[in-house]
């Protein structure tokens, strides 16, 4: 089968080539999938996409008319897919439900540690010959309360790691996880988690219920000066409300690996361009904000597992018309 891989970066090519059998012809495309670029999948039976590809009604309509039967996501999240439209057009959607929860959880912890001890500022200072400590004061993680929102694969992993630092763990999830209660995580309502946590870390999927879960009201319930970490999906936080929260001191530290409007920015080198997103640029002006460009998943182990599962989805679809990990409804 011919496979059109959208949003290809050199590392995608490296890991997909290693995972692919010779039975498929792989066509790598740098462009994102949109309703306008979908025609590039001409001749393909399956397309492979990533987090910022727009698998909406328009794109699915074009894909279906070209004879594409499968959209294989190289991600766990599928908030960029119109599932109702996929069902209507008879296009199978597959994803990689679990590849390396350790990769994303370790990145969330990296953000926590960097922000707490001001590593991002210390790095720049020392390179500039400035060895003053003023402004770099941190706090011990030991004894602090960490609130985990969403305790699935990644959230549970974060809870385990933070437990190792001697933190108290509270969590909020619509489906509590026994792996968490067994290590002493206490499930509480979201309002109580926000009120008690020194660090709030988000690991639920983006759904209509979680869109702007962290808004002005939620921020007003947080412990003053608490740290907020989002490595899940950008739109779980209302970015304007978070900017206001940092300006007022309600939020003491902010670590983001994802951003509401990241589709226009992330995964490309834009260092020669003028960034026109004023809200994003405002975030970059704060000394207590650390942003990475959606790299939580970016480890060797995760990329290998993503490529292996993606090819397993495509192989199964080519043989049986069904993928291994099909997405049929919002989870």
Q: By beta-carbon distance, which residue lies closest to ligand NAD?
A: 152
| Known catalytic membership, residue 253 | no
Buried b (16+ CB within 10 A) or exposed e, 185-211: bebbebeebbbbbbbbbbbbbbeeebe
We find the least distance from the C-beta atom of residue 156 to ligand NAD, in angstroms, to be 7
- Tokens for 194, please give them: 């926000």
Determine if 262 is a binding residue for ligand NAD (CB under 6 A). Answer: no
Segment near ligand NAD (CB under 6 A), from 21-29, 96-104, 121-129, 313-321?
96-104
Q: Is 121 exposed, middle or buried (0-12, 13-18, 19+ CB in 10 A)?
A: middle
Catalytic residue among 74, 95, 233, 253: 233
Contacts (CB under 6 A) with ligand NAD, residues 290-319: 294, 296-297
Q: Is 94 exposed, middle or buried (0-12, 13-18, 19+ CB in 10 A)?
A: buried
Taking phi first (over 0 means left), then psi (-120 to 50 degrees means alpha), and beta for anything else, what does residue 77 get? beta
Q: How many whole angstroms separate alpha carbon 225 and alpha carbon 228?
A: 9
Contacts (CB under 6 A) with ligand NAD, residues 119-158: 149-155
Determine if 258 is a binding residue for ligand NAD (CB under 6 A). Answer: yes
Determine if 174 is a binding residue for ligand NAD (CB under 6 A). Answer: yes
From start to end of 50-137, where are the E strands? 70-73, 92-94
Count residues binding ligand NAD (CB under 6 A).
33
Going from the C-alpha of 272 to that of each of 10, 214, 315, the distances in angstroms are 20, 33, 41
Rg (CA), the chain: 21
Determine if 257 is a binding residue for ligand NAD (CB under 6 A). Answer: yes
State which of residues 7, 52, 114, 232 lies at the interface with ligand NAD (CB under 6 A): 232
Catalytic residue among 24, 89, 153, 262: 262
We find the least distance from the C-beta atom of residue 75 to ligand NAD, in angstroms, to be 6
Contacts (CB under 6 A) with ligand NAD, residues 30-89: 76-77
Q: How many whole angstroms separate alpha carbon 194 and alpha carbon 188?
A: 10
272 three-state secondary structure:
coil
We find the least distance from the C-beta atom of residue 103 to ligand NAD, in angstroms, to be 7
State which of residues 86, 204, 311, 314 lies at the interface with ligand NAD (CB under 6 A): 204
Annotated catalytic residues are: 233, 262, 294
Query: Footprint of ligand NAD on this chain (CB under 6 A)?
Result: 76-77, 98, 101, 104, 149-155, 172-175, 177, 203-207, 209-210, 231-233, 257-258, 294, 296-297, 331
């Amino acid at each position: 089968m011919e496979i059109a891989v959208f949003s290809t970066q050199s590392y995608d090519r490296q890991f997909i080539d290693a995972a692919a059998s010779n039975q498929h012809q792989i066509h790598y495309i740098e462009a994102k999938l949109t309703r306008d670029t979908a025609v590039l999948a001409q001749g393909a039976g399956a397309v492979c996409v990533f987090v910022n590809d727009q698998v909406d009604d328009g794109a699915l309509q074009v894909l279906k008319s070209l004879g594409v039967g499968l959209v294989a996501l190289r991600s766990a999240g599928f908030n960029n897919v119109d599932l109702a439209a996929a069902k209507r057009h008879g296009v199978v959607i597959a994803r990689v439900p679990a590849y390396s929860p350790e990769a994303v959880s370790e990145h969330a912890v990296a953000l926590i540690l960097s922000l707490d001890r001001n590593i991002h500022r210390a790095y720049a200072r020392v390179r500039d010959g400035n060895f003053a400590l003023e402004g770099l004061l941190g706090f011990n993680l030991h004894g602090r309360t960490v609130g985990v929102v969403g305790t699935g694969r990644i959230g549970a992993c974060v809870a385990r790691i933070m437990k190792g630092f001697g933190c108290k763990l509270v969590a909020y999830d619509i489906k509590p996880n026994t792996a968490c209660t067994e290590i002493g995580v206490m499930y509480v309502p979201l309002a109580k988690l926000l009120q008690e946590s020194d660090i709030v870390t988000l690991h639920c999927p983006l759904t209509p219920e979680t869109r702007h879960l962290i808004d002005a009201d939620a921020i007003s319930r947080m412990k003053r000066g608490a740290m907020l970490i989002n490595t899940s999906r950008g739109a779980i936080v209302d970015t304007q409300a978070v900017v206001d929260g940092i300006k007022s001191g309600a939020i003491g530290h902010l670590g983001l690996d994802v951003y509401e409007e990241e589709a226009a920015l992330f995964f490309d080198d834009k260092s020669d361009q003028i960034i026109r997103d004023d809200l994003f640029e405002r975030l970059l002006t704060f000394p207590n904000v650390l942003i990475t460009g959606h790299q939580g998943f970016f480890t060797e182990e995760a990329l290998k597992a993503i490529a292996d599962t993606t090819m397993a989805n495509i192989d199964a679809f080519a043989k049986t018309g069904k993928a291994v990990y099909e997405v049929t409804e919002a989870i």
